[in-house]
Amino acid sequence: MQTAAVPELAHTHTRPVHWIATATAMAAVVAIAGFLQPDAAKASQTPGERGTPLTTAAAPDTGAVTFPLDCGSIGSLVEKKASGDLDGDGVPETVAVVHCNAGGGTPPRGIYVLTKPVVKGAPPRVVATLVDPKEKQNVADFAVRDGMVAATLLGYSSNDVPRFEPDVRQEVKWRWRGGKFVRSTGPAAMGV
């Protein structure tokens, strides 16, 4: 009796062409995933959180504001911004990280809180300066969440430290208490 030999199945042995095909397929999946992004996240509060009802008021627009920054003719640039209800009144504020539009280098940043205008049609108002550019700080991370502003500030231990190489890192938070923003800080870390 003869037994039929089962031919060797080509798909059971990997060859370089199989690896190339797999890598190409994975690259295509990653590329497609890069184009399919979720909608931008929006801060929100549940009704009754912090004792205030929700409102549909728009957050203040940074484009209509003149920031208290002396930039001369080069103007200022809003680097980052985020909105949320910081004082619990149900109306969102906008927090902006702003610096002079120097075009190069690392100009110091300021962090400003904007609120709605007093008079309808007027520009939003800067109601607080959380970080003054005169402090010569840069802002690495920045967020507004749960009624709080959080940032990572980069600074310098002395005037001898090059401006492109900050050597002090500090985690800071601001929360609205008693009619003003109260700053809390983590320990300063040397050697960023």
If one compares 29 and 140, the residue with the highest pLDDT of the two is 140
DSSP-based three-state secondary structure for 80? strand
For residue 5, the Cα-to-chain-centroid distance in whole angstroms is 65
Q: Is 73 exposed, middle or buried (0-12, 13-18, 19+ CB in 10 A)?
A: exposed
pLDDT digits (tens, 9 = 90+) for 47-69: 444 444 445 678 999 998 999 98
For residue 86, the Cα-to-chain-centroid distance in whole angstroms is 16
- Rounded Cα–Cα distance for residues 169 and 110 (Å): 16
**Which amino acid appears at position 143 of this protein?**
A
Q: What is the pTM of this model?
A: 0.67
Query: Where residue 6 falls among pLDDT bands split at 50, 70, 90?
Result: very low
For residue 105, the Cα-to-chain-centroid distance in whole angstroms is 20
Query: Where residue 92 falls among pLDDT bands split at 50, 70, 90?
Result: very high
* Among the listed residues 105, 107, 164, the one whose alpha carbon sits nearest the alpha carbon of residue 134: 107
* Among the listed residues 152, 159, 114, the one whose alpha carbon sits nearest the alpha carbon of residue 136: 159
If one compares 39 and 57, the residue with the highest pLDDT of the two is 57
Contact 183, 150 (CB under 8 A): no
pLDDT at 187 over 70: no
pLDDT given at position 46: 43
Rounded to an integer, the average pLDDT of 78-100 is 94
Residue labelled with tokens 């002395």: 158
pLDDT given at position 138: 92
pLDDT digits (tens, 9 = 90+) for 156-176: 999 898 888 899 999 999 999
